[in-house]
A = this chain, B = another copy of it.
């Protein structure tokens, strides 16, 4: 048996000590002791002043304990934490959690204290949760390490909650409890001075009880590691993620856990790319994780959802929501339609959705027929509570036993009336929802998860690696940047870099007319604004006039010109690659032009990425119709764009010295692309 790591000692301890244990009920140190009442392992109270806490003898210090405990809960003020932590390290305890705030979220002084905590952990290998967290619950060992004792009564379940915010951790856990699902584990990270979401994800993914993970994040400091972790874990256990910051809430966020939020587009794109299903509220986080903990679909790019409803209005709302989320609601096979038609009166809608009208005795058979359809991967069934017409708790389990595809059920009625129905179905292993939209959201989560998994499983197969490119000498000018792009397989217009007017005239003779004359100097970033780009040059007189204009631009470096063939008209994109401090190499593609910039119509991914992922970026653009044969014009070469994106990403990954590359514009044609301008900073 492998030795237990300190993270395991912390999150699955055999012994726990509470430093600051108190006999005063309003104190966190009392509540924490109370919450440990049902823990089967050893519990020690540490308090130099108290004789006993909740019937347990209080020890004056950790040193006074008969043994090094696995987990230490520090329920003491921030200022006292560093010394207490050192003592725990000296005593060879496994790990600790600090509930108090007053660290980096509270200003410079707190940040210093927090940095000391971090150093002590790094030097010793001691693991620390928080500071500034309400703690965690591990139902596998009936442990509630928290100053919120009611957390102890959250039932055991199949969802692990991992939340940056302790408050969100508890909110989501209670939502899961009240919906009848419970948790396997629920961890609030707080300021994450040592233990990050990635660490805890590894731990909960290894728990037998955990079937799905609900993840809440604010700022992400180790974005790349988190990305890799989710990518690995999501293959085994589904992950639903909720991250705030769609609007500018950065100031408050920093005050919360001391973290910078960073751009939402990057965070959310990275989470989805890694394989997580994204939601935007605590309720949807609990809902989607609960659904995925009960029923995960096999990996499939476009899984089909079958919709059966006894109320057409509810069916319409579900269909609308599914379609808006890009979930496939396929036509049923003709054999299914025939089978459904035999069982329903002709006035009902018998496509997908199937509207049964008031449920009759054939209702279970209809569910069964739809579930057996080859186009369908999961079935959702909504029916208002009408016990006189339908008893889903008696009819649906038999249907479910006979088919492999999950059936999700939703209903509404007076709470006392539906409670029993839903409870019975839940204990039979069904996911149950309390409105049409909750049901459709649950189905969306299943479908999106299956789709992400399919995409990730393709990754290895189709990953495209460009040949290593030679870096331009720094600083790179447009010509050398384009040479690098060409070595990556990204075409640029034919051109000649010239050191004199004579050379420029020679270039004009050799190139196809018309040409463009540009000033060529790494020191100039915005050529066009300075009049450094002269278009439509056809003869030497025009060239001479153009060069005269370029010569009027002040320069410190030697004067050079780029004479380049003018590219045919086409759709313009911007493709760029940057290096993010948290997430590493990132590529962005967007439509070009000021309108697109104003509309911020872009897609973001972490590099490296596959051709399919790059194609997916284009699908995400609101203006994607322009690529696909807009108004009778020919379809443009999406594949060439995707190759360009992939190559730029690979380049960034292979050349850590490159800070940024931007192609603006990349002109797109029915066949091929051309990089009309390029910037590279090394």
A→B interface (CB under 8 Å): 25-26, 28, 31, 101-102, 105-107, 110, 148, 150, 153-154, 163-171, 174-175, 177-178, 216, 218, 244-249, 251-253, 255-257, 281-283, 309-317, 319-321, 323-324, 346-349, 351, 353, 355, 357-358, 384-386, 388-389, 412-415, 417, 434-438, 591, 593-596, 598-599, 601, 622-623, 625-626, 630-631
Contact = CB atoms under 8 A, between A and B. Distances in A.
A436 B171 CA distance: 9
Contacts of A101: 347-348, 357
Given A252-B351, A313-B218, A437-B281, A385 B595 contact: no
Contacts of A178: 414-415
Which 8 A-B residue pairs are closest in the complex by CB-CB distance?
A165-B313, A167-B311, A106-B347, A247-B323, A256-B312, A281-B437, A168-B313, A255-B349
Contacts of A248: 323
Nearest to A628: B598
Contacts of A314: 165, 167-168, 171, 282
Q: Report how many copies the assembly holds.
A: 2
Given A244-B317, A414-B174, A166 B626 contact: no
A313 B244 CA distance: 9
A313 B256 contact: yes
B599 A174 contact: no
A27 to B, nearest CB: 9
A588 to B, nearest CB: 18
B249 A320 contact: yes
A480 B348 CA distance: 53
Contacts of A167: 309-314, 384
A554 to B, nearest CB: 21
A420 B168 CA distance: 22
A175 B412 contact: yes
A310 B170 CA distance: 12
Nearest to A154: B414
Nearest to A26: B388
Given A167-B313, A245-B316, 13 more contacts: A148-B386, A170-B412, A244-B320, A246-B324, A247-B320, A249-B316, A249-B319, A249-B323, A252-B312, A253-B316, A256-B313, A256-B349, A281-B436
A416 to B, nearest CB: 9
Contact of A438 (B163, B255, B283, B599): B283
A216 B313 contact: yes
B414 A316 contact: no
Nearest to A34: B388
